[in-house]
Chain A
């Protein structure tokens, strides 16, 4: 008769549906005031990271601009740290480090977690058992001593810290992706693909991966937040790279200089507030995605 559903038309229909779904989700997302606020907050930090250097000159290696842990002056609004560096500059430029770390570590986490998680969930059997055992073993090792040990072995410069954080944090994401893969594996289109003889890699790439991601968006966002926090904790402990300005290092200076007792608030209040604000923005966004995925969480 008339409309024989050709492959062409099917595909077009699928794309349309997908677009509509994305539109719906965006609608939902932006209806969530908190998530929107999170996006705005995050944008603020991104802008600060990208455009900061154009509006505010700061060199992490120009010392002695003021007295040691000097009070704020009209020219240097947030005072000085123990090397006489401009704290305001450190705070502004610290944004870049935080974002860079957050994104890089998350990239590694997702890379390892997704590869292992999808393989584990999809193939099942002995592969699954093996991968899961390894994952579990690594997740059991206490994190902080492990990180300290690793950084003592390979050094604590910026790149190494990213690698170390990535390599120690992927287990949660892996488990999550695996469980999502198990669910998706049952779905129709996967069965269909198998029936027409599609290869495993193809299926994993074209069907499972794209469908897993929306479900783990929330987890990814929270991983970014988590890695930013982890880096600041490490910097606070002294496992950091002093040649890169980060908020965690300001807080370390604060502790070393006894900022609480001497009242050098500029060392720890601005950096801490930035950490809270940036992390909160990720949390808001992450939970915003949760609400998209789980309709029950939306406003009644």
Chain B
């Protein structure tokens, strides 16, 4: 891997980083209203009281000053205190990210795995009925809106059959005497969200993998291998799949890298207390510290993921790094 390549990517990454971070700050201040509008009707507001609140939120400082604080906090990872929850944003995000990860790290690899396997199977039977069935159903499932899918699954398994609870992440208000009880409760609550999430994403992976496999099937070296008498299954396993995986390896890495940013549709519908839900709610509440920190983290994750993608792809595909 050429040094120049890495340095090049690094500079690019840094530039992106600064741009996003500043955009982040500006965008939210452009929004009409501020966090105080949420509370102005509730308390016996007085101008003095309001001024105190502004001070509490750090909104009384001039904009430049706020920007400076903001930039400093981005570097030190000290994101201040949430306007709404009154707890340090860092702890809050830590919690929410962990929750999103729980959901994501179960669902995303599952969805990707199903997609890849399905793509392999479909492509191996290219042109036959099985292929038609698999591909068409993937397309239809891909076309289903995520939140609707979740609603349907919820209705079937939660309401009609009563198998699973339809509330959030854990039974509210429960305390668990043993770790096993906790895990059992969590698992109970996880099934449908994870299922919905995985079903929602496997479609595009399947179709892309299938396309990739078919591309590889038509390559010369496959023809050669067949001519040499290699049987179909080992052929697929040793030659076709690895090559077909190459183009989508980058998107897989990318998907996994940003998993903690939360699948917003799923989280909102299932009231899963993760990052996606938090972000949406903090926009409505104008909770600047949370919004800024969340966007910042996501931007960092995406940029890093891109960077990782480039490097890994370069490493895996000799053509890129030597060319």
* Residue of A with least CB distance to B147: A236
**B194 CB-CB contact with A under 8 Å:** no
Decide: A280 and B155 in contact? CB cutoff 8 A.
no
Q: How far is the CB of B266 from chain A (nearest CB, A)?
A: 12
Expressed in whole angstroms, the Cα–Cα distance for A24 and B211 within the complex equals 22
**A268 CB-CB contact with B under 8 Å:** yes
205-249 of chain B: CB within 8 A of chain A = 207, 211, 214-215, 217-218
Residues in A with CB closer than 8 Å to B152 are 272
Decide: A290 and B16 in contact? CB cutoff 8 A.
no
Q: Which of A44-52, A132-140, A206-214 contacts B (4 or more CB under 8 A)?
A: A132-140
Picked from A152, A251, A261, A287, the residue with its CB within 8 Å of the CB of B207 is: A287
Q: How far is the CB of B123 from chain A (nearest CB, A)?
A: 10
86-141 of chain A: CB within 8 A of chain B = 133, 136-137, 140-141
**B303 CB-CB contact with A under 8 Å:** yes
Residues in A with CB closer than 8 Å to B279 are 142, 144-145
125-184 of chain B: CB within 8 A of chain A = 126-127, 132, 135-136, 139-140, 142-148, 151-152, 154-155, 158-159, 166
Most buried by A among B147, B148, B152, B218: B148
Picked from B31, B139, B166, B295, the residue with its CB within 8 Å of the CB of A283 is: B139
Assuming the A-B contacts A133-B16, A149-B28, A290-B211, are A141 and B218 also in contact, with contact meaning beta carbons closer than 8 angstroms in the complex?
A: no
Assuming the A-B contacts A145-B280, A145-B291, A232-B145, are A137 and B126 also in contact, with contact meaning beta carbons closer than 8 angstroms in the complex?
A: no
**A254 CB-CB contact with B under 8 Å:** yes
**A25 CB-CB contact with B under 8 Å:** no
Assuming the A-B contacts A272-B145, A294-B211, are A144 and B23 also in contact, with contact meaning beta carbons closer than 8 angstroms in the complex?
A: no
Picked from B127, B135, B166, B264, the residue with its CB within 8 Å of the CB of A144 is: B264
Residues in B with CB closer than 8 Å to A268 are 148, 151
Residues in A with CB closer than 8 Å to B265 are 233
Decide: A260 and B280 in contact? CB cutoff 8 A.
no
* Residue of B with least CB distance to A129: B12
26-75 of chain B: CB within 8 A of chain A = 27-28, 30-33
**B268 CB-CB contact with A under 8 Å:** yes
Q: How far is the CB of A90 from chain B (nearest CB, A)?
A: 16
Expressed in whole angstroms, the Cα–Cα distance for A296 and B269 within the complex equals 40
Expressed in whole angstroms, the Cα–Cα distance for A232 and B147 within the complex equals 10
* Residue of A with least CB distance to B265: A233
**A300 CB-CB contact with B under 8 Å:** yes
**B284 CB-CB contact with A under 8 Å:** yes
**B283 CB-CB contact with A under 8 Å:** yes
Decide: B20 and A140 in contact? CB cutoff 8 A.
yes
**A153 CB-CB contact with B under 8 Å:** yes
Q: How far is the CB of B61 from chain A (nearest CB, A)?
A: 22
Picked from A149, A261, A294, A300, the residue with its CB within 8 Å of the CB of B283 is: A149
A/B interface sample: 12 pairs, CB < 8 A: A137-B20, A140-B16, A141-B23, A142-B298, A145-B291, A145-B295, A260-B166, A268-B151, A275-B144, A276-B144, A279-B143, A282-B143
Spell out A's residues near B (CB within 8 Å): 34, 133, 136-137, 140-142, 144-146, 148-149, 152-153, 225, 229, 232-233, 236-237, 251, 254-255, 260-261, 268, 272, 275-276, 279-280, 282-284, 287, 290, 294, 296-297, 299-300
